[in-house]
Amino acid sequence: MLVTSKIFAGISSTRLAQAVSQVSASHCWAWLFLLMSFFYGMNAMATEEPKYKVVLRDGEMEIRQYDAFIIAEVVVDGDMDEASSKGFRQIADFIFGNNLAPGANASSKIAMTAPVAMTPEAKSEKIAMTAPVTMSPQADSADMTANRWRVHFVMPSQYSMSSIPKPRNPAVTLREVPAKLFVVISFSGFTTVAKIQQKTDAALAWVKAGKYTAVGAPQLARYDPPWTLPMWRRNEVMVEITAP
């Protein structure tokens, strides 16, 4: 990691952004390793996560109350793995410097946070520029074999919508997410479609049994860089709910 950090130390954020935008999907995970090594190696502080309070624990399930936060997101086509790679590259391009800082004709590097999230997207849904990293299928879909995904990164809490650098790529949008209540099931290992679907079905069954109401599509949240050993990986399926 230290060697990788030294290699990248002399590279400008603009050149990093160009490299991220040009890398092919087949080589994305190798670049994730290098680029995230740069971030983690050059920043000794722990990766920031969205703030939340655990309201209830029941076996492997938690109900969490999340504070409001800002996300950068893109909508991409492809299966889960392909969409994850495409979405990561576009948002990494934004945080590594393909942006415009408010009040200045210059870019600014944004710190990496966790998790990266995905939500499946309904094929027929049109994406508004003002609409909302987590992955999730869209529009009440719990099907993790979707071919369109909404991918987002949570932005560092130091920013407001007025102070955060703005994306130069119009495909990347910023949105403030209000405080929300989520049912969350955590698991380790690889995030295969079958495993994610199993955890999603379990979370939705728990929501129904508890007489809660699920809101929108489940999200897949991944917290660790790709070189993390499977048994130490932290993954979550998150389902927004309203109280009974």
Q: Encoding tokens for residue 176?
A: 């403030």
CATH 3.20.80.10 assigned to domain 49-244? The reply is yes
CA distance 149 to 129: 15
Residue-range domain boundaries for the chain? 2-42, 49-244
DSSP bridge pairs for 74: 151
Band of pLDDT at residue 38, cut at 50, 70 and 90:
very low
Higher-pLDDT residue of 216 and 169 is 169
Calculate mean pLDDT across residues 168-196.
95
| C-alpha to C-alpha distance for 144 and 163, rounded to whole angstroms | 35
Distance CA 244, CA 242 (A): 7
Tell me what the mean pLDDT of segment 203-209 comes to: 95
Q: Given pLDDT bands bounded at 50, 70 and 90, which one contains residue 5? A: very low
pLDDT (average), residues 61-84: 94
pLDDT value, residue 216: 87
Instruction: State which H helix or E strand residue 221 sits in.
Output: strand 213-222
Is residue 195 within 8 A of residue 138, CB to CB? The reply is no
pTM for this structure?
0.74
